[in-house]
Amino acid sequence: MRNRALPGFGLSLGVTLAWLGGIVLLPLAALAWKSASLGPATWWAQVSTRRVLHALSLSFGGALAAAVIDMLLGLLLAWVLVRHRFPLRRLCDALVDLPFALPTAVAGIALTALYAPEGWIGRWLQPLGVQVAYTRLGVLLAMVFVGLPFVVRTLQPVLESLEREPEEAALTLGAGPWQRFRRVLLPMLAPTLLTGFALALARAVGEYGSVIYISGNLPMRTEIVPLLIVQKLDSGGDTGPAAVLGAVMLAASLLVLLAVNALQRWNRRWTEAG
Amino acid sequence: MEAVLARPVYRRRSLASRLVRGLLTGVAVLCAALLLLLPLLVVFAEGLAHGWAVFVAAITDPDARTAVKLTLLVAAIAVPANMLFGLAAAWLMTHFEFRGKSLLGALIDLPFAVSPVVAGLVYVLTYGVHGWFGGWLDAHGLRVIFAVPGVVLATVFVAFPFVARELIPLMQSRGSEEEVAARTLGAGGWQIFFRVTLPRIRWALLYGVLLCSARSMGEFGAVSVVSGHLPGLTNTLPLQVDQVYNGGSGDAVASAFALASLLALLTLVTLVIKRLVEWRHGGELARAAARH
């Protein structure tokens, strides 16, 4: 059933489907077809090498850890930006968009310059025995950087529109600040926090430009999956090995996307019920 | 009596809570400064670390100038293309009901969830030498991968959803009543679009176009896979930054940062315009509409 009162259904449907089909679906189908044509033996041979397993565990483990850190840091930032008034608040708010807007390659070399042993921050960490650049800590840092705005920007509008009554009720019932946060606010924010977490996770898993400079790309230590895909493509010839890893990454993205959709539906039901 | 007793207790608690507030604010500001502000500052500082001469030489290098031109060309194709798509998709998604609408909505968002490297890879598998259309293209003397068309396609892919995503929630929250009213008064389709719809969504459209162009000019991963890294031919500015950075000469890092500072400047301009639009026309953006 469509609204026949307005014109342009055929034209807008045609443009949308043609564009979506040509730009997104056709190339993705090429990846699905290529990786499906490769048989289980090739798949296993590609995925089970120690180098690939290492990269998979770093990409997914690192992204999970980064998304958890983003969730905590993002909650703090969003909370302070919405509920507190302080000088430079607008500047801080604008800075949150930086990881969205700064080209990833620029972010990558900038983070490397900061955290290299002789860098602005690295030189203070060096005497403490902490090395960030060219270690897994550096990979984690870059992943935290790119994911942070997703959590802050998802939380901000929800925090702003949150009704104060439940908190005030808790206050009059004698709840302390921590109790109000833990028992009243956190349950109300949980679906939004998880959405932000999933978005940050999706971004961190696939991130390439911000990570590859600070990681140093040491095989078996700081290589991420997207880097291996690029290497396998650069080595020329057969595109099969790259397609296998690409399919793994694509499947992971689709899973996260599904999770985000489910979370948003849950969130909507939650807010409508409340 | 009770009120008198309660007072000092209340005051003590508010002092403690003010301390906590101050502490939280301090930690948040410190995090923002260390994690977000320093990476931006270090780009300019490192770019100028070897003096003005190196900076100017880096950005006036012929390969760098070709890279800037290619970056602008790619954006000049990718942004209008995605803008037209975004307008069509928003019109479709907000004025009509049809089967598969929610699936279509999810598919529009899909490129945001895909890794940039995978975005490049899928184009290699489609148009590359061993790809679906590789043989046909080769037979006709056409090149997509390791050439400019591939760079354009990969950029269109990664910047795909920006405009649609900005317009759809806004137009959804406004409904179709005004368009239907214009229709019953005898307005044609294009007349409705230009006279009724466009004036109401122009700031959101500008906002989406802004985000779309920032992403188009800054994309690295996807473009890196399909470009072939040919300096002076298929290197966009981010790719040129990468190549100069890995070049290894004495001034390589400073030169790379000089080029990167052009991109950082672009980022600053984008953020300032974005703030201005949010500040002056916030009520006409999707973010604000979603809150009501």
**pLDDT tens string A228-255:** 999 999 887 788 899 999 999 999 988 8
Residue of A nearest to B263 (CA): A103
Give domain status of residue A232, yes or no. Answer: no
Helix (H, G, I), strand (E, B) or coil at B198: helix
φ/ψ of residue A158, rounded to 5: -70, -45
Cβ separation A16–B28 shorter than 8 A: no
Strand ranges (E), chain A? none
- What does the pLDDT read at residue A104? 96
Query: What is the longest distance spanned by two Cα atoms in chain A?
Result: 72
Contact A151, A197 (CB under 8 A): yes
Contacts of B49-57 with CB under 8 Å at 24 or more apart are B49/B254, B49/B257, B50/B251, B50/B254, B54/B251, B54/B254, B54/B255, B54/B258, B55/B254, B55/B258, B55/B261, B57/B255
Mean pLDDT by runs of 10 across the 292 residues of chain B is: 45 72 91 93 94 94 95 97 96 92 89 93 93 90 92 95 92 89 90 92 94 95 92 92 87 94 95 90 68 36
Q: What is the dihedral of CA A56, A60, A62, A67, to 10 degrees?
A: 170
The whole-angstrom separation of Cα B115 and Cα A246 is 9
Report the residue from A25, A30, A253 with minimal CB separation from B125: A30
Query: Which residues from B are below 8 Å from A229, CB to CB?
Result: 117-118, 121, 225
Residues of A numbered 222-251 whose beta carbons fall under 8 angstroms of chain B's beta carbons: which are they?
226, 229-230, 233, 238-239, 242-243, 246, 249-250
φ/ψ of residue B18, rounded to 5: -65, -40
Name the DSSP letter for residue B119: H
The answer to whether residue A86 neighbours chain B at the CB level (below 8 Å) is yes
Give domain status of residue A5, yes or no. Answer: no
Most confident segment among A87-91, A173-177, B6-10, B209-213:
B209-213
Assigned token pair, A134? 């060219």
> What pLDDT digit, counting tens, does each position of A106-150 carry?
999 999 999 999 999 999 999 999 999 999 999 999 999 999 999
> What pLDDT digit, counting tens, does each position of A21-47 carry?
999 999 999 999 999 999 899 899 888
- What does the pLDDT read at residue B290? 44
The whole-angstrom separation of Cα B284 and Cα A260 is 26
**Amino acid identity, residue B97?**
E
- What does the pLDDT read at residue A56? 95
> What pLDDT digit, counting tens, does each position of A194-222 carry?
999 999 999 999 999 999 999 999 999 99
Percent share of chain A, pLDDT over 70: 97
The whole-angstrom separation of Cα B72 and Cα B78 is 10
The whole-angstrom separation of Cα B239 and Cα B218 is 9
Query: Which residues from A are below 8 Å from B214, CB to CB?
Result: 101
Assigned token pair, B66? 């070709």
Assigned token pair, B161? 């959803």
Contact B42, A113 (CB under 8 A): yes
- What does the pLDDT read at residue B2? 45
Q: Which residue of A70, A85, A91, A109 to mutate against B (max B Cβ within 10 Å)?
A: A109
Q: CA-CA distances (angstroms) from residue A41 to A36, A45, A103, A119? A: 12, 6, 39, 46
The whole-angstrom separation of Cα A129 and Cα A114 is 16
Cβ separation B39–A102 shorter than 8 A: yes
A63: CATH: 1.10.3720.10
Q: Count how many domains chain A has.
A: 1
State the residue range of the domain holding A211. 58-223
Report the residue from A20, A77, A233 with minimal CB separation from B32: A77
Alpha-carbon torsion (B224, A203, A74, A118), positive or negative: negative
- What does the pLDDT read at residue B5? 45
Cβ separation B21–A84 shorter than 8 A: yes
Comparing A19 with B287, which gets the higher pLDDT? A19
Query: Which residues from A are below 8 Å from B182, CB to CB?
Result: none
Q: What is the dihedral of CA B98, B103, B109, B110, to 10 degrees?
A: -140
The answer to whether residue A36 neighbours chain B at the CB level (below 8 Å) is no
- What does the pLDDT read at residue B10? 45
Alpha-carbon torsion (A115, A107, A154, B283), positive or negative: positive
Q: Is it the case that residue A71 has pLDDT exceeding 70? A: yes
Q: CA-CA distances (angstroms) from residue B280 to B164, B276, B283, B285? A: 22, 6, 8, 10
Give domain status of residue A134, yes or no. Answer: yes
B51-290 to CATH, choices 3.40.50.720, 3.40.50.12280, 1.10.3720.10, 3.90.740.10? 1.10.3720.10
**Amino acid identity, residue A252?**
A
Residue of B nearest to A23 (CA): B157
Query: Which residues from A are below 8 Å from B264, CB to CB?
Result: 102, 106
- What does the pLDDT read at residue A10? 92
What count of CB pairs under 8 Å joins A to B?
Answer: 281
Q: What ipTM was estimated for this complex? A: 0.91
pLDDT range class, residue A164, cuts 50, 70, 90: confident
Contacts of A266-274 with CB under 8 Å at 24 or more apart are A266/A191, A267/A191, A267/A192, A267/A195, A270/A191, A274/A188
Contacts of A217 (CB under 8 A, 6+ apart): A223, A227
Which helix (H) or strand (E) element contains residue B242?
helix B237-245
Give domain status of residue A18, yes or no. Answer: no
Query: Which residues from B are below 8 Å from A160, CB to CB?
Result: 291
Residues of A numbered 45-74 whose beta carbons fall under 8 angstroms of chain B's beta carbons: which are they?
73
Cβ separation B117–A113 shorter than 8 A: no
Minimum distance, in Å, between the CA of residue A9 and any CA atom of chain B: 6
- What does the pLDDT read at residue B152? 96
